[in-house]
Amino acid sequence: MIFVRVIGFSVIVLLCYTLFANILPQVQSNPPEDDEPIVAGEMDMAGMLAWGEKLFSGKGTCTLCHNNLGRAPDLLEMDLATAFDERLKDASYAGEAKGQDGAEAIETYLRESMVDPSAYVVAGFGKKGSDDKVSPMPDVSGAPISLSEPQINALIAFLQSRAGVEATVSLPEAGDAEADADEEDDEGPAETAEAAIEKFTCGACHDLAGSGADTGPKLNGTGKRLGLEGLRKAILEPNADIAKGFEADTMPPDYAEQMRISELNLIVDYLMNLPEGGGQ
């Protein structure tokens, strides 16, 4: 009788593990969605929150790093209210939200996190060797993520609401329309290597087009070492071989589903021709 129960229990435990193993990997980055142009001047706060949520996994590519893999705080899972409260009370916080409180302080903290990530670095998440002084997160208003001011406001509104405070950002005004008009061009296949690299935000992690990012290795000289096939494999199956000194599970594992062959070829060609030494 006991024996049967033990077996039954083991089966249930096994089932739970299997379920978990199947659920977890799917939490990773979703394919970017198309960002419809917004009609500035007509958006209300509810629309702003929905837009922010979409940008978080889409154009903002925040889920590339903010996920359950431990490379960055898991913003969608953690208790944001408590976390932000702790950051702002931390003696080493010297940013612009000092002296503000409530929703206003959280707005300032979030904006600063996005456009000046090194102003305050969450303990344990700094660039290697920087003693938590330098953040690996790129300024999301600059290339390659290039979010506009209204888009950053939408993300702030979304994260404020997840922290349980009211959204204090301003809604987009009619004059903001142009700023957003030029961002809805990326549904078709990229025509140049630079456009493909921007579309798949390789420069958020690799030092490409002068981004200076170092979450992933420098790619100069990689083509010579890996060859065409090796490069293709490194992009489509990033976890098959891990570059020395870097960690697995950082690079998005689903480029194979998102990229067209033409785009992959452009990128591989570009990497083959990168000058060997310096940054590019």
Residues lying near ligand HEC in the complex (CB under 6 A) are found at 60-62, 64-66, 72-73, 83, 87, 110, 113-114, 117, 121-122, 125, 135-137, 140, 155, 200-202, 204-206, 215-217, 219, 222, 231, 234-235, 238, 242-243, 246, 248, 250-252, 255, 267
**Distance in Å, CB of 117 to ligand HEC, minimum:** 4
For ligand HEC, which is the closer residue by CB, 42 or 86? 86
**Distance in Å, CB of 246 to ligand HEC, minimum:** 3
Q: Is 188 left (phi over 0), alpha (psi -120 to 50) or beta?
A: beta
For ligand HEC, which is the closer residue by CB, 42 or 79? 79
**Distance in Å, CB of 226 to ligand HEC, minimum:** 6
For ligand HEC, which is the closer residue by CB, 6 or 133? 133
For ligand HEC, which is the closer residue by CB, 4 or 91? 91
**Distance in Å, CB of 178 to ligand HEC, minimum:** 21
For ligand HEC, which is the closer residue by CB, 151 or 176? 151
